[in-house]
């Protein structure tokens, strides 16, 4: 990508990432030596994220957004392509002694705070555990100090009152704050937030998003925000990448992409977001069917079987990302 | 999503409801199942499959077919789209709207998603702490809300057309239902409370024909 060429400012760079998972052929398939098939979870994705930037990865189930995130964190090994975190290759870091440093600097907040916390661990134990794993504190006083600071930064105030509480004593919003505190305690440079608010009540979503925003502003944490909800991405992100079946179909500044979506898939996604006002009900552009399975990919443009503006060439030529404006790229033959 | 029995065929589960309520034999019931599935947009051959062979959207369609099995007058849909992707959510909403028109069905939609409400509902009843806070037509609720809770709830909801205004969350938590505040149940979190709110529960009054509000600061 042409922007962010200065390596100083780029925290994360992903180049032509591909991740394929083999599909079991079964006994019969193996005996008949059928060709091995693959799930094309991520298939040629490139993007970069600058320091202190919030990039949204938006897509439906099966678009490859979570696999991309797991690649970035070094939790899944890519089949092809490069992932550079602060200029260093993530797959290489995972194999090296530097692995712990990567784990410290790149943290994740999962979707469901009801499941991602250990129900038998107190808040203090949960938030202190990363400090022990990474041997970042020398004594108990230091540990208490850091846990207090992390809980405070995550908006759990006064922090001491939360030390001995268990997850079941906390509301959903408070639990997600504990998860965030557990990530913050390591002072990460990159935070991957995988649908951090989709399990929370509407009235609480705003405060978690505002908290993440505040952490970016105050600490310069870079955030990769993964969601299927363009509406929260609109509030929260600086740039947004829309994914479909393992590829980025449109990427650009959030304002530009939302006000002037060029890819028919982005347009459809935008049109079905419920608008909270009955006077602005609009024609929903509902795509029929569901995302095809990523084993047998459609030929040409992956979106062509569901595309409302499909033409003959779409089933033959696979479109590449083309620049359509400042920092705004679209992969569609009709653009 | 988890409302279907995972070890029984989807068609048999729908047929069960029909055979329990109407004296029809198995053959007639399974014919009916096929028709119902077609109504909700699933090919009738899928009746022989198990829930795990269905996607999330299809399972929700199958649940709708089951609900329609005995030709009800009213359908209660409890968060029908919450666990679904946006595009599938739109498909299900579209289905509910079509059914409502074609079958003259009444629908009670239970949800926390104000966007979904604005898209398909005619009237809205906003509840808080087990009581009605405000009850009016969908247009009034969204454009002239009077209850402080309704007002704040609307401001907490992201609007993709107008993303610059910041999201405002409601401070505090809903009251525990075994220790409700003595007065208005929203009083501890309300930004417009007065002394009376802490002691007396506000009655639901009609401020205009068809617009009911339970708040001391509004109307009667």
Q: Smallest CA–CA separation between A235 and chain B, in Å?
A: 5
pLDDT, one tens digit per residue, over A117-145 is 999 999 999 999 999 999 999 999 999 99
The answer to whether the beta carbons of residues B62 and B17 sit under 8 Å apart is: no
pLDDT tens, A270-316? Answer: 988 888 888 888 888 888 877 787 888 888 999 999 999 999 999 99
Residue A230 has pLDDT above 70, yes or no: yes
Domain boundaries, chain A: 10-115+190-198+220-330
What pLDDT is stored for residue B165 in this prediction? 64
Q: Which residues of A touch B118 (CB under 8 A)?
A: 274-278, 281
Question: Over pLDDT 70: what percentage of chain A?
Answer: 98
**pLDDT recorded at residue A2:** 41
CA distances from A193 to A79, B95, B188 (A): 23, 32, 32
Question: How many contacts, defined by CB atoms under 8 Å, are there between A and B?
Answer: 116
Closest listed residue to residue A99, CA positions, set A50, A134, A138: A134
Q: pLDDT of chain B along its 220 residues, tens only?
A: 678 999 999 999 999 999 999 888 999 999 999 999 998 888 888 999 999 888 888 898 999 999 999 889 999 999 888 778 888 888 889 999 999 999 999 999 999 888 889 989 999 999 999 999 999 999 999 999 999 999 998 888 888 777 766 778 788 878 888 888 999 999 999 989 999 999 999 999 999 999 999 999 886 5
Question: What is the C-alpha separation between B141 and B210, in angstroms, rounded?
Answer: 11
Fold that domain A10-115+190-198+220-330 belongs to in CATH: Rossmann fold (3.40.50)
Task: Output the DSSP codes for B3-23.
Answer: -S-TTS-HHHHHHHHHHHHS-
Statement: the pTM of the whole predicted model exceeds 0.95: no
**CA nearest to A34, candidates A25, A42, A43:** A25
- 8 Å CB contact between B33 and B14: yes
Question: How do strand A239-244 and strand A54-58 relate by DSSP bridges?
Answer: parallel
Task: Report yes or no: B144 at the A interface, CB cutoff 8 Å.
Answer: no
With an 8 Å Cβ cutoff, is B139 touching chain A?
A: yes
The pLDDT assigned to B219 comes to: 66
Those residues with Cβ within 8 angstroms of residue B9's Cβ, 6 or more apart along the chain or in another chain: B47, B48, B49, B50
pLDDT reading at A3 higher than 70? no
Least CA distance to B151: which residue of chain A? A203
Please answer yes or no on whether A274 and B118 come within 8 Å at the CB atom. yes
Beta-bridged to residue A17, according to DSSP, are: A45
Q: Exposed, middle or buried by CB within 10 Å (0-12, 13-18, 19+), for B25?
A: exposed
Structure confidence at residue A60 (pLDDT): 86
B142-163 pLDDT tens trace: 999 999 999 998 888 888 777 7
Return the structure tokens found at A334: 């009709």
- Residues in A touching B154 (Cβ below 8 Å): 276
Which one of B86, B143, B160 has the shortest CB-CB distance to A234?
Answer: B160
Residue A144 has a pLDDT of 95
């Amino acid at each position: 990508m042409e922007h962010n060429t200065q390596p100083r400012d780029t925290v994360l760079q992903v180049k032509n990432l591909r991740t394929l998972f083999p599909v079991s052929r079964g006994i019969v398939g193996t005996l008949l030596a059928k060709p091995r098939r693959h799930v094309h979870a991520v298939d040629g994705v490139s993007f970069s994220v600058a320091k202190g930037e919030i990039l949204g990865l938006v897509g439906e189930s099966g678009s490859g957004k979570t696999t991309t995130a797991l690649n970035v964190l070094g939790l899944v090994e890519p089949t092809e392509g490069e992932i550079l975190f602060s200029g260093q290759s993530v797959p290489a870091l995972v194999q090296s002694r530097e692995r712990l440093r990567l784990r410290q600097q790149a943290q994740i907040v999962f979707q469901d705070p009801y499941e991602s916390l250990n129900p038998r661990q107190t808040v203090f134990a949960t938030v202190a555990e990363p400090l022990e794993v990474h041997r970042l504190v020398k004594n108990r006083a230091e540990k208490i100090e850091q846990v207090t600071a992390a809980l405070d930064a995550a908006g759990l105030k006064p922090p001491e009152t939360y030390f001995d509480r268990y997850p079941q004593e906390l509301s959903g919003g408070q639990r997600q704050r504990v998860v965030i505190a557990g990530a913050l305690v390591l002072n990460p440079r990159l935070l991957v937030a995988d649908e951090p608010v989709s399990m929370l009540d509407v009235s609480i979503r705003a405060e978690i998003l505002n908290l993440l925003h505040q952490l970016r502003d105050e600490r310069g944490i870079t955030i990769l925000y993964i969601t299927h909800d363009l509406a929260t991405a609109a509030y929260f992100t600086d740039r947004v990448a829309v994914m479909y079946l393992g590829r980025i179909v449109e990427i650009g500044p959030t304002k530009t992409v939302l006000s002037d979506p060029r890819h028919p898939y982005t347009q459809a996604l935008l049109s079905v977001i419920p608008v909270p006002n009955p006077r602005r009900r609009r024609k929903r552009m509902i795509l029929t069917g569901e995302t095809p399975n990523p084993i047998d990919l459609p030929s040409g443009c992956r979106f062509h079987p569901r595309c409302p503006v499909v033409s003959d060439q779409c089933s033959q030529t696979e479109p590449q990302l083309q620049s359509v404006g400042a920092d705004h790229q679209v992969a569609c033959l009709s653009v | 999503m988890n409302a279907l029995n995972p070890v029984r065929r989807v068609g048999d589960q729908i047929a069960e409801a029909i055979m329990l309520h109407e004296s029809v034999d198995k053959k007639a019931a399974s014919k009916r199942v096929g028709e119902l599935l077609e109504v909700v947009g699933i090919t009738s051959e899928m009746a022989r499959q198990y829930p795990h062979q269905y996607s999330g959207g299809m399972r929700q369609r199958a649940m709708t077919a089951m609900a329609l099995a005995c030709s009800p007058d009213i359908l209660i849909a409890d968060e029908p789209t919450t666990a679904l992707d946006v595009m599938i959510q739109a498909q299900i909403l579209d289905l509910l709207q079509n059914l409502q028109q074609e079958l003259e069905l009444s629908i009670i939609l239970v949800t926390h998603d104000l966007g979904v409400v604005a898209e398909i509902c005619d009237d809205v009843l906003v509840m808080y702490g087990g009581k009605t806070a405000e009850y009016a037509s969908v247009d009034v609720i969204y454009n002239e809300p009077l209850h402080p809770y309704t007002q704040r709830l609307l401001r907490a909801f992201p609007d993709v057309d107008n993303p610059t205004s910041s999201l405002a969350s409601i401070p505090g938590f809903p009251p525990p239902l075994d220790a409700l505040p003595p007065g208005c149940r929203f009083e501890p979190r309300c930004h417009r409370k007065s002394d009376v709110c802490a002691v007396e529960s506000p009655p639901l009054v009609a401020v205009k024909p068809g617009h009911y509000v339970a708040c001391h600061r509004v109307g009667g």
